[in-house]
């Protein structure tokens, strides 16, 4: 992963460690948004991976879709 991807992954990992157990595991998608974001950053780097993660989080709302949504190649 690039330096930017590592920097963007830090708050995601912190969320998974600290807040995710309190919030619960009620994600509409599989994999979860945080797992998707980490995978996108690992596959595509900071810029494109960050864009894919932000786009995914924007789609995660009560009127959005659900189901399997894998990181594109």
HEC letters along 6-64: HHHHHHHHHHHHHCHHHHCCCCCEECCHHHHHHHHHHHHHHHHHHHHHHHHHHHCCCCC
Q: At what angle do helices 33-59 and 3-18 cross, to 10 degrees?
A: 100
73 residues of the chain, pLDDT tens digit each: 889 999 999 999 999 999 888 887 778 889 999 999 999 999 999 999 999 999 999 998 888 888 899 999 9
What is the per-residue pLDDT for 52?
Answer: 97
């Amino acid at each position: 992963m690039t330096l930017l991807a590592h920097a963007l992954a830090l708050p995601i990992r912190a969320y998974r460690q600290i807040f995710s157990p309190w919030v619960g595991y009620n994600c509409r998608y599989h994999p979860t948004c945080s797992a998707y974001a980490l995978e996108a950053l690992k596959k595509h780097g900071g810029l494109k991976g960050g864009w894919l993660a932000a786009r995914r989080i924007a789609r995660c709302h009560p009127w959005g879709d659900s189901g399997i949504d894998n990181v594109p190649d």
